[in-house]
Structure 1
Amino acid sequence: MNIHEQKITPECLEKAANQVEDKREEYKDVLLQLKKMLGGTTPHSETAEILTRAYEQMKEYALFVQSIETFLRKSANNLKIK
């Protein structure tokens, strides 16, 4: 059975959600490191501005990834109920 023939099950969705959660936790560590780097830069410098923009974009991405995880878990729960 190839991946296109595989049925979507609650277990499959939960496994995917767990994988997303693991990556989200790793990403969170990167965000914390970037935030520390921001603290070590001179305010209003070009480097600080670039790092700040990167940090803000990364925070938005982290929220997006979290919404994917939530969607997968909710979908798994909905399949269990049916």
Structure 2
Amino acid sequence: MPEPELPMLPDGTTLRWQYLEQGKYSAITIFAEVQNGRIQFQGEPRSPSGATRDFDKLIRGDDGYAWDYPWQEWEWYTGEEWVPIKTLRDE
């Protein structure tokens, strides 16, 4: 089941997720798109937490599991600025 915030965003909304750690992964930003209340990744729908795990594993290989990267760090683009998707709960 998708997190309640994603269905609030229209299909095609751009999302991003940035690594929170320092070092060689600190400059990595992932972009994705909302489709039917889910994040599309490699043609498959994912929840934010599932997409975070998949992206982390893709980037860091067997070392990647994204346990340290909460799905709440996903942001959506309003057309003017990046806003955390968790703020949609307050609207």
TM-score normalised by the chain length of structure 2? 0.25
Higher helix share: 1
Q: Which has the larger radius of gyration?
A: 1
Structure number with higher strand proportion: 2
Higher relative contact order (CA 8 A, sep 6+): 1
